[in-house]
Amino acid sequence: MDNQRPNDVADLARRAGQLAGWAARTGFQFSRKLPGIDTAERGIRQVERTLLGELRRRLDEVDDPYHAALAAASAMNRNDGSPRVVEASVTLVPARDHVEPLRAAMAELLNHSIGFGRDRAREYLYAIILRQLTPDEARILSALSDGSPFPAIDVAERTAIGAAGRIVLRNASTVGKSAGVSLPDQVPGYLTRLIGLGLVELDEEVPSLETQYEILLTDEAVREVEKQVKRIKVIRRTVHISRLGAQFWQACDPSLG
């Protein structure tokens, strides 16, 4: 791989992250009434999309054991008479003449694990996480990165005895609007994914956020659920960055690069 490419990727990540972080931290969305601000915002969004698109393209070109394994397996399974093997500096799982792509990918990962120290393994983990994030999810993580909690609620169908039954809306939160996401209606899904990746966590209700909880109850997604369910029960929680999320952000924070 070109020696300059890692620096190019890092530079693109830094520029894209600076735009996203600036918008999230300065509350850019609240200034839209200023003359010409809509045009400026559209320009910023377009530049951000271009940078993130180029970043993902560059990341796709980085040496990836999954890609390498699948490509090698495909080459090995072509019956052209020439012997091919899955290359690895240290071999834990020997390559076979004909390997199914998924088995080859697993063999490649196991072989790579032999030469991975803690730093390299951590870097690989963070790279895999980064490649799964959407731009909106990056904004949310940026908004949570200082450790501040944001209100989050689940909306459940109230049972006949007043208990919480079927969950009809999970992980609604004000953090999306604070982060300036492009798709506010997808915030519950974004948070569910971030929780699944271990980057953010849910915690108990924080009484000092009462006003924000009240604002959250006026959210369009919450109001839509209220129209569909006769009796609802709101379960209040908070969402904050996790230990893994804080470590991941520390490693990827473009403002520190």
pLDDT higher than 70, residue 18: no
With CA atoms as reference, report the closest residue to 200 among 128, 252, 160, 145.
145
Give me the pLDDT at residue 157, please: 81
Domains of the chain: 65-115 (no CATH), 146-256 (3.30.110.190)
pLDDT of 206-219, one tens digit each? Answer: 999 999 999 999 99
pLDDT of 254 strictly over 90: no
**pLDDT score of 196:** 96
Dihedral through CA 117, CA 120, CA 123, CA 125, nearest 10? -60
pLDDT over 70 percentage in the chain:
58
113-120 mean pLDDT: 83
Structure tokens at 11: 């530079």
pLDDT in tens, 21-44: 545 444 444 444 445 556 655 666
- Quote the pLDDT of residue 30: 40
Q: What Rg value do the Cα atoms of the chain yield, rounded?
A: 23
- Whether the Cβ atoms of residue 168 and residue 225 lie closer than 8 Å to each other: yes
Residue 174 has pLDDT above 70, yes or no: yes
Residues 72-110: pLDDT tens digits?
544 544 444 544 443 444 455 555 555 677 888 888 788
Q: What is the pLDDT of residue 117?
A: 85
